[in-house]
Amino acid sequence: MTSKIVHVAVFDTLADWEVGAATAHINNDAWHREPGAYRTRTVGVSTEPVTTMGGMRIVPDIALAELTPADSAMLILPGATGWELGELDPFAQKAREFAAAGVPVAAICGATFGLARAGLLDDRRHTSNVAAFLAASGYAGGDHYVDEPAVTDRGVITANSTAPFEFAREVLAALEIYEPEVLDGWYRLFSAGDPAGYAVLAEYEARQAAV
């Protein structure tokens, strides 16, 4: 099986905690409908190393200019200080290409500011850290703002900075990585430590092993 690639944008001051749950469980085949169906690759402005907010050094797999929607299953955009300054606008413009091609885009925290400024949230339900944060972008979508941890509308996922597991749930759902009941169990376990969620995952793993 050839894996579909989920591209994760990386840049200096990337907020490590915001996308870790999503990327780890895209790559971890446990409980997947089709093990090996997806893998992540990183994309930077160039292939020069970047340093995350947590001090992790990442060497991007590819440069942004090489990325096309046809070669990707999704583009994930983490938060970083550069979004409000306009430094990361090239990633928002790439997100416009993805949305136009019908390929999902997932943005969290400051990345939602970039999508707002690029016009992607003008007519979609969306969320962010707070409504006033996005209003500062000058976008026209304020009436579509939803005060929820994470929102999906027509292939665009948005989330606030304190909702990495809700963000991951939307990402995993959009990719259809898990069966619905498995996704629910996954979220209950990892977001709240619910033992019932673990039981769902253990039962599914046992069924798959028996096939």
Q: Give the active site residue among 109, 156, 168, 171.
A: 109
CA dist., res. 106 & res. 83, Å (int):
15
**128-158 b/e with 16+ CB inside 10 Å = b?**
bbeeebbeebebebeebbeeebbbbeebbbb
- Rounded to whole angstroms, what are the CA distances from 120 to 3, 73, 202? 28, 18, 39
Residues 6 or more apart in contact with residue 180 via CB below 8 angstroms: none
Question: Which residue(s) pair with 196 in the sheet?
Answer: none
Our answer to whether residue 109 is catalytic in this structure is yes
For the packed helices 110-117 and 89-101, what is the interaxial angle rounded to 10 degrees? 70
Q: Which among 113, 197, 107 is positioned nearest to 152, based on CA atoms?
A: 107
How far apart are the C-alpha atoms of 146 and 150, rounded to whole Å? 9
Identify the helix (H) or strand (E) that includes residue 107.
Answer: strand 105-108
Distance CA 143, CA 108 (A): 19
Active site residues: 109
